[in-house]
Amino acid sequence: MDNSFRDWTQLKLTVALGDLDTAAAIMSMIDNNLQIEDYSDIDLKSCYGDLIDESILNADKTIASVYVYIPAEKSYAEALSFIREHMKIAGIDGKLTVVGVNEEDWANSWKAFYKTSRIGKRMVIVPMWEEYDPKPGDVVVKMDPGMAFGTGTHETTRLVIGLLEDYIKPGCRRLDVGCGSVILAICASKLGAGLCRAYDIDPVAVRVAKENIEASGQTNITCEQSDLLKQVDISDGGYDVIRANIVADIIIRMSPGVGAYMNEGAVLLASGIISERADEVTLALESCGLKVVKRYTDNGWCALAVMKK
């Protein structure tokens, strides 16, 4: 590998050409400095045709790739988990590869990035292999994340955990739309939430989430499969706190229906929104009878606290 890249890990996402814009949007959530490889628009009839490298002329024009580079001090495993989760949410398939990390490092080095971290005012996320002496008032979540487990370090997760500290009340009913690693459901349970239901469209994500719930020992959390709100259980009532840490387009898509799942005084915590699209999401929510009461930002990301008007 070129020494100029020795302190970086390259993540490459290859998708069908029609999914290139979506792939680029997902990768831009990791870093805005993208490299895009798309040979579909090369004009072979131009006068420069003879100067084009043969490998480009013979490249598959039906696919495209997006590259992003992760600096050595950041966790590429966290980035991979984030990309995979948002590919599922967006409904696209693709091949995700890593360059700059050998197989042995891939299996073990992610642990070097996963340390005890304090998030918000009270929440402390502790890996199973570390010892931690809680301070008065700490709410400790201890877990073995695995390479693909959300660790709580991404800006969107930090924003939601801060919101959970503000809005979770003892015994409240809580709903997760898109369960991810269920770290947020576990945090909510630890903060005193009563019933916690989590849903995800991906059956594999649901299976892994159930394993994580069992390992956490939080018996008030359940996880089932649903396409956004379609299969969500409201037979025994609505919810006091709904969390959707997904992407702007999906939050906009669910805006017309989410109010029916909210109890009187309930709050929707919407995150995963790049700051440039926060106004667009706000407009969509408020056009559906909801009101954004708080907006939080962190390093180019935005989270919204939303209530019924």
Which tens digits make up the pLDDT trace of 227-255?
A: 889 999 999 999 999 999 888 888 999 99
User: Does the structure show a pLDDT above 60 at 152?
Assistant: no
Which tens digits make up the pLDDT trace of 181-207?
A: 788 899 999 999 999 999 988 787 788
Q: Angle, nearest 10°, between helix axes 76-90 and 20-28?
A: 140
Q: For 189-224, give one letter per residue: b (16+ CB within 10 A) or e.
A: bbbebebbbbbbbbeebbebbbebbeebebeebebb
Which tens digits make up the pLDDT trace of 159-183?
A: 888 899 999 999 999 999 988 778 8
**Domains of the chain and CATH, by start:** 3-110 (3.30.70.260), 155-308 (3.40.50.150)
- Give the percent of the chain with pLDDT over 70: 82
Which pLDDT value is given to residue 298? Answer: 85
Quote the DSSP letter at residue 214: H
Which tens digits make up the pLDDT trace of 62-82?
A: 898 998 888 777 777 778 888
Q: How far is the C-alpha of 96 from the C-alpha of 98, rounded, in Å?
A: 7
Residue 303, φ and ψ in degrees, nearest 5: -130, 145
Confidence of residue 3 (pLDDT cuts 50, 70, 90): very low
What tokens does 227 get?
């396409």
If phi > 0 it is left, if psi is from -120 to 50 it is alpha, else beta; for residue 294 that is beta
